[in-house]
Amino acid sequence: MIKVGVYCRLSDEDRYKKNKNDDSESIVNQKSMLIKYALDQGWDIVDIYSDDDYSGAGVERPDFNRLINDCENGRINLVLCKTQSRFSRDMEVIEKYLHNKFIEWGVRFVSIVDNADTDNEANKKSRQINGLVNEWYLEDLSNNVKKSLKNKREDGLYMGSFAPYGYKKDPNDKHKLIIDEEVSYVVREIFEKYKNGLGYHKICASLNERGILCPSLYKKSIGSNFVCCNFDYKTTGLWTHDTIAGILKNETYIGNLVQGKRTNVSYKNHKSKKVPEQEWCRCENTHEAIIDMETWHVVQRRIKNHHRPVSDGKVHILSSKVYCKECGRIFMRNLSNVKGENHTIVKRAYLQCKGKKKYHTCDNDRAIRYDVLEQFVLDSINDLLKKCNKELLKDEYNETIRKQNRKDTLITNLNKEKATYEKKLNESKLYFKNLYTDKLKNIISEEDFSMLRDEYIKDVESFQERIEEIQKELNTIENKEENVSNIESILKKYKHIKKLTRIIVDEFIDKIYIGKLDKNTKTREIKIVWNLDL
């Protein structure tokens, strides 16, 4: 006895549904056509399986999986569809079930419109070609959607579902961001506190103590459809280190849009994966900034150096800057009780090599007073400022212009080469599609196909490798340019510094190396590595 399972599927929601739980009109038509066909053939319909609003890619469809389970258990032995693409547009799924599992389970597959029938061995190749065409349809559709999104991102349009904290979508244009005055002050406060030396913990504590809603709860409070796994105030309702870090690293707050950081694994696998940074879509000055550029650069330098706050929640001025000249390990900060005025006991800060203090592997055994080192650094910076007179700045500027002209030529040549390899990569993919079609049509043998496929893979890997190398060179040039452009602005900002701040230290100093104390002269070498490339 032929036991039929009727399977229907539609991807797009039909506008004429009375409610979201109703089958769409097209599904109803599919059912009517298939039931009539089965009755005309004298087949027994066991069950009807319907997946409305589900893509033909992959197998994440509830009734599809129920159908497969019934096939495997012998409840049905014939699957009836309108077309093969209704069953699946995924070539891997077609091969797995139509030409493998269904044969193993004794299940026949029939589709009415395109005459697919697994009992007819003669049309196997047409089924495979249909499967391949349907697969390409999915791939092309996915690529078109990606290209459309990419074009919109490159045009500076915001494509996120929800605006970042501190912004809201323009009611006149959902792809534009405008400042949300209700909470933008919180973003400014976070940047200012971190810029002035406060750590994540202190910033979180301040916001939580004042009852300021974290981004997820704020979105919910204004009626947004933003969904969080849990809105329990004790868990998601508090500001956390990760939330603060995410805000401090987000270029949206300086008026830039950086999008396309994640994508789906493929058009068949919707799991998310990270996109390499060189492939992100970055557009500058797309909306009004909340944070000024000077504050942004100071904050990014501090994040890069991973400064750890001390017990009061603040970062000491020379944190993560002082290293041992002998072993290369960082100098640790310690507080010791010493006699002060009127024989009172006061705490004084010292710095000592971690290799000696913690691991006992370094002979740089004498600590250095923190206040003495701080004064040395202040004097050294002021000496540097005296040497950097206007004439020196002028020479530096002229040399920068000459270097810039050479770099512009190099950048142009690299971009041309990159475009050439990207074109070759696209041509190779088209070639492989045609090659696969020739194999299915028996125009080329399996052996020739395998050989040509291996050559194709080598070419693609070679093209991709060179494209990545070119992008790294372009990124390196961009970073060097930014560093040179900062020199003149920093030196012009300061004439004479009376007191050190963390911001000044970050702008001028990369590292400080402390040598061993000479027992005879009672002196030690202190070497400053400057951030300024003079």
Listed range (253-262, 385-394, 491-500) with the worst mean pLDDT: 385-394
Whether the predicted model's global pTM rises above the 0.75 cut: no
Q: What mean pLDDT comes out for the span 175-203?
A: 91
Reply yes or no on whether the pLDDT at 234 is more than 50.
no
Amino acid at 491: L
Report the pLDDT value the prediction gives residue 23, as an integer from 0 to 100.
Answer: 59
CATH class as words, domain 3-135: alpha beta
pLDDT in tens, 393-436: 555 556 655 666 677 788 888 888 888 888 888 888 788 778 77
Q: In angstroms, rounded to a whole number, what is the distance separating the alpha carbons of residues 397 and 394?
A: 5
Q: Which residue has the higher pLDDT, 243 or 23?
A: 243
Torsion from C-alpha of 10, 16, 17, 20, nearest 10 degrees: 80
Q: Give 341-375 pLDDT, tens digit per residue.
A: 777 888 889 999 998 888 888 999 999 999 999 99
pLDDT value at residue 230: 46
pLDDT band (50, 70, 90) for residue 268: low
At residue 197, the pLDDT reads: 80
pLDDT, mean of residues 268-275: 72
| Residues 215, 244 contacting (CB under 8 angstroms) | no
CB distance 503 to 298 below 8 Å:
yes
Residue 269 has pLDDT above 50, yes or no: yes
Residue 479's pLDDT is what? Answer: 63
Dump pLDDT digits (tens) for 434-466: 877 787 777 888 788 778 888 888 888 888 888
Instruction: Give the architecture (CATH level 2) of 167-305.
Output: Alpha-Beta Complex (3.90)
**Tokens 């409305």, residue located:** 52
DSSP-assigned beta bridge partners for residue 339: 345
Report helix, strand or coil for 245.
Answer: helix
Residue 475 clears pLDDT 80, i.e. is over it: no
Q: How far apart are CA 200 and CA 192, in angstroms?
A: 12
Domains of the chain, by residue range, sit at: 3-135, 167-305
In whole angstroms, what is the distance from residue 5 CA to residue 412 CA? 61
Residue 176, pLDDT > 50, answer yes
* Span 282-334, pLDDT tens digits: 898 999 999 999 899 888 888 876 555 555 445 678 888 899 999 999 999 88
The pLDDT of 369-382, averaged and rounded, is: 92
pLDDT at 14 (0 to 100)? 42
Considering only 15-19, 20-24, 114-118, 244-248, which range has the smallest mean pLDDT?
A: 15-19
Average pLDDT, the chain: 82
pLDDT at residue 513, rounded to an integer: 95
Please, are residues 127 and 94 in contact by the beta-carbon 8 Å criterion? yes
Does the structure show a pLDDT above 60 at 15?
Answer: no
Q: Which two tokens stand for residue 163?
A: 């605006």
Q: Express each pLDDT in 135-144 by its tens digit.
A: 666 666 666 6
pLDDT value for 336: 85
CA–CA gap between residue 335 and residue 513 (Å, rounded): 21
H helix intervals, 42-123: 62-72, 84-87, 91-96, 102-105
107 half-sphere exposure, CB direction, 13 A CA radius: 27
Percent residues over pLDDT 90 in the chain? 31
How does pLDDT run across 148-168, given as a tens digit for each residue?
777 888 888 898 888 999 999
Residue 198 corresponds to which tokens in the numbers above?
Answer: 């406060």
